[in-house]
Amino acid sequence: MSAERLVARQLATVRMLRSENKMMLNGEPNRITFSDWAKWLDIDLEDIITLQEYCSTLDVFELADRALNLNTHDAFICKYARAYLNLYGIVICKIACDGDSQKIYSFLNYSIEAYVDRLCQTEHLTSDLSIAKDAIYDISLRYLSLVADAVDNTLLAGYTWDVITEMCDFFKSNQDYKTFKQNIANN
């Protein structure tokens, strides 16, 4: 099979996986089984399962979970750090692709400050949350590092940029990723 055909099949599979995942999150049943998809595209079932695993490693919610699993903070901080990353994870990655590493720090500082202030107002919290702010900042930086690791592992597995950009929401090209890596290396 030619490389172009393989990439086309991988792209179609990633699109199907993402579509099925969205349906599942909305409570709808899956329309397609992996074995049916493998037959239709003449692709190995194991290849579909491997693609699904790589897609999940680049999923923003999965990345947030992994960043929090490496964390030693209490459940209170984890709860709000997860909510912060669910809101801002993709935005942070897109800013890191922008080319100015100072924008990342500025955005993190501003958005975390605003997020925690809003949290204090809506949850009626009165304690000093500077520890929470520092923890969310550290977890956000760990999140960026995990994004880079996940992309590197996906590249090492042999997937092309066409497939990787379809798997994740934050990179449009190899150049975006190079800028991202350079910016997070400046941490």
pLDDT tens digits for range 111-144: 999 998 888 788 776 666 778 888 899 999 999 9
Predicted pLDDT at 72 = 65
Rg from Cα positions in the chain: 19
Report how far residue 156's alpha carbon sits from residue 39's, in angstroms, rounded to the nearest whole number: 27
Residue whose token pair is 């998809």 = 37
Above 70 in pLDDT, residue 145?
A: yes
- What DSSP string runs through 85-140? HHHHHHHHHHHHTSS-HHHHHHHHHHHHHHHHHHHHHHHT--S--HHHHHHHHHHH
Residues above pLDDT 90, as percent of the chain: 18
Does residue 73 or residue 86 have the better pLDDT? 86
Q: At what angle do helices 34-41 and 45-57 cross, to 10 degrees?
A: 120
pLDDT tens digits for range 18-42: 888 777 777 777 777 888 888 888 8
Domain residue extents for the chain: 3-57, 60-156+170-185
